[in-house]
Amino acid sequence: MSNVLARNLLSLDGDWNVIVDPYEMGYVGILEQRNDRGFFRDHAPRHPGDRVEYDFDTAPTLTVPGDWNTQDERLHYYEGTIWYRRKVALTVDQVASGRVFLHVGAANHTSRVFLDGEELAVHAGGFSPYAVELTGRLNTEEHSLVIQVDNRRERDRIPAMRSDWWNFGGITRSVDLVFVPDTFLRHAWLTMAPDGRVIGGVEVDGSDDAVELRIPELGVDTVLTGGSSRHFKLDIDHEIERWHPGRPRLYDVEWTVGHDAVIDQVGFRTITTDGTRIVINGEVTFLRGISMHAEAISGGRRSHGPTDAAGLFDSAEALGVNFVRLAHYQHDEYMMREADRRGVLAWCELPVYWGIAFDQPHVLENAREQLDELITRDRSRASVIFWSVANETMPSPGRNAFLTDLATRARELDPTRLISAALLTLPTDAQDHHVDDPLGAVIDVIAVNQYLGWYYGEREKIATTRWSTPFDKPIVFTEMGAGAKAGHHGNDEQIWTEEFQAAVYAVHTQMVNANRSDLDNGVVAGMSPWILKDFRAPVRVLPGIQDGYNRKGLVSEEGERKLAFDVLHSFYDGVASQVI
Ligand code: GCU
């Protein structure tokens, strides 16, 4: 279900009663079978002798949206199941309004939905939205809505056992009831293809009625027929003012089918490659980027909502970026809307990260589901130019087949954007790096994570390091960087000092400049250094320096800028001033 933010919603955000259930006894009984008197029944004692060993009404609460780790220090490291419950009742008008869906913005990692004790759905994937139809099940009585969430790391989940980010659990984005007519637009999307034509698709739920599409400023008022799920191309006579990084132009797009009407704001731009160059609206463009986790600019918690999105973009834009890498999973929809409005290009990514069970068919099935949810929510967003299917996965026949399947599927869902994956650079002292990961033949842009001057490589050699690939495709450094504790100073050979980090950035910007494809015959078309801000990571445990934070941020977890921030900012200012 897309365009949810523009729909008739009843927010279910706020305090939900919760039960922490580390042994999942609220779902599985002593004989390892489903426990029919489990917490999802939301029982209350019916008489003084009634043995009910839980009670949501008097249970503690957690706020939705929000990770549980930072709401209660006892849950700081918690990995397991927590049950959320709230009561829901509709008004007479809402009951009569047509169909109603529960929409969950994200719940990490796997969640089950129960209404009045009945299990309705299960969703695997901690960063993508899902909807469950509740039509006919809700009236003006009080109903029990229970969502079981578990953030356990499992070998056959995506992501799997290890990640360099905090495993924030919980209902981490908003939950709403969505009211729609009997026939409504489950999906409606519009974007510009590389050839400059506007293309789109609709998926009508409830009938195969014709869909009316209007873009008043472009003189578009067309009726789309041809079945409930259809793709289309538009011939638009009007001059379309292109959406462009730094010059965001959005048009109101009105979708109507029957009594369903949705207005979206859409920008139109072309994104292509030309050999090792990235070309946007025909302009060769160097991606001045930064990577980000979905962690609020201060407070060390999972980010959500428009205020967090604005805070993260304010900080990124202060660097002079035209590009953000939203790592390593699907970010909040508010981030995509903010990128569209601000004219900042975006990399969107699946959490197919490090050690994935590439040999398990059900794992590929879930990867496809998460990919569908990633693309179907955001393929109208002009800011999105990359769909990334992985981060730092070791080449193998199984991994190559798995990622090739995802890349193929991504192109089927959206033939207009660049497909990539962040590739691993193994430790090396070489001065010439030839990136020949076989996946390079499949993806459109060779994204490279490299840590010269931090994990490996002599700093003195970095500025003169050359990069090449056997593929005539752009390289983007999706990660590079070094750690520093804000306020920790010394000479630039002292690790963890701001001076050390700044010195690494200085030589990397020299290296990038010498390899740029927008200036001459280089291969590097952009970069998104790791990372905007320090972020929580369980493996980063150096006392007094890391204390549970990855310190590669250019900004501390409380918003203090480090010296390297200015190094990158001045480099980007220089790049931006070079009108090619
Ligand atoms: C890896 C990985 C990141 C990690 C970073 C680091 O490249 O992609 O998720 O945080 O390196 O080592 O800090």
DSSP class of 88: E
Backbone angles phi, psi at 299, to 5 degrees: 105, -10
- Which residues are near ligand 1 (CB < 6 Å)? 164, 328, 391-392, 449, 479, 530, 550, 552
Half-sphere exposure of 414 (CA within 13 A, CB side): 30
Atom of ligand 1 nearest to the CA of 392: 8
Rounded to whole angstroms, the Cα distance separating 517 from 219 reads 38
User: Which tens digit of pLDDT belongs to each residue from 49-100?
Assistant: 989 999 999 999 999 999 999 999 999 999 999 999 999 999 999 999 899 9
Question: Is pTM beyond 0.85 here?
Answer: yes
User: What separation in Å is there between the alpha carbon of 481 and the centre of ligand 1?
Assistant: 10
Q: What is the pLDDT of residue 136?
A: 96
* Nearest Cα residue to atom 9 of ligand 1: 164
Where are any strands of DSSP class E within 168-210?
Answer: 170-171, 175-180, 184-192, 198-205
- Pick the closest to residue 564 from 483, 494, 495 (CA basis): 483
Atom of ligand 1 nearest to the CA of 535: 10
- Would you state the torsion angle of the CA atoms of residues 287, 290, 291, 294, taken in this order, to the nearest 10 degrees? -120
Q: What is the pLDDT of residue 392?
A: 98
Q: Tell how many helices (H) and how many strands (E) occur in the chain.
A: 8, 34
Residue with tokens 């962040």: 422
User: What separation in Å is there between the alpha carbon of 515 and the centre of ligand 1?
Assistant: 23
Cis peptide before 43, with omega less than 30 degrees from 0?
Answer: no
Q: What is the pLDDT of residue 580?
A: 53
- Which superfamily, per CATH, for 289-572? Glycosidases (3.20.20.80)
Range 4-180 has CATH code 3.30.499.10: no
User: What separation in Å is there between the alpha carbon of 164 and the centre of ligand 1?
Assistant: 6
Residue 109 has pLDDT above 60, yes or no: yes
Rounded to whole angstroms, the Cα distance separating 386 from 231 reads 21
* Nearest Cα residue to atom 2 of ligand 1: 164
User: Which tens digit of pLDDT belongs to each residue from 245-297?
Assistant: 999 999 999 999 999 999 999 999 999 999 999 999 999 999 999 999 999 99
Atom of ligand 1 nearest to the CA of 455: 12
Interacting residues of 171 by C-beta distance below 8 A, sequence separation 6+? 16, 64, 65, 66, 84, 104, 106, 107, 111, 147, 149
β-sheet bridge partners, residue 113: 121, 147
101, 178 Cβ separation under 8 angstroms: yes
Write the Ramachandran bin of 346: left for phi over 0, alpha for psi from -120 to 50, otherwise beta: beta
4-180 and 289-572: identical CATH topology: no
Rounded to whole angstroms, the Cα distance separating 566 from 575 reads 14
User: Which tens digit of pLDDT belongs to each residue from 495-533?
Assistant: 999 999 999 999 999 999 999 999 878 999 999 999 999
Can you tell me whether residue 122 is helix, strand or coil?
strand
Rounded to whole angstroms, the Cα distance separating 350 from 328 reads 6
Rounded to whole angstroms, the Cα distance separating 500 from 494 reads 6
Domain boundaries defined on the chain: 4-180, 184-269, 289-572
User: What separation in Å is there between the alpha carbon of 451 and the centre of ligand 1?
Assistant: 9
Residue 579 has pLDDT above 70, yes or no: no
Atom of ligand 1 nearest to the CA of 483: 13
Q: What is the pLDDT of residue 454?
A: 97
User: Which tens digit of pLDDT belongs to each residue from 367-384?
Assistant: 999 999 999 999 999 999
* Nearest Cα residue to atom 6 of ligand 1: 164
- Would you state the torsion angle of the CA atoms of residues 74, 77, 81, 87, taken in this order, to the nearest 10 degrees? 50
Range 184-269 has CATH code 2.60.40.10: yes
* Nearest Cα residue to atom 4 of ligand 1: 164
* Nearest Cα residue to atom 3 of ligand 1: 164
β-sheet bridge partners, residue 215: 220
Atom of ligand 1 nearest to the CA of 353: 8
User: Which tens digit of pLDDT belongs to each residue from 339-376?
Assistant: 999 999 999 999 999 999 999 999 999 999 999 999 99
Q: What are the CB-based long-range contacts (under 8 Å, 24+) for 209-214?
A: 209/183, 209/257, 209/258, 210/257, 211/185, 211/255, 211/256, 211/257, 212/254, 212/255, 212/256, 212/257, 213/253, 213/254, 213/255, 213/256, 214/253, 214/254, 214/256
The residue to mutate among 391, 456, 476, 530, having the most atoms of ligand 1 within 8 angstroms of its beta carbon, is: 530
Paired tokens of 27? 């779902």
The residue to mutate among 164, 424, 528, having the most atoms of ligand 1 within 8 angstroms of its beta carbon, is: 164
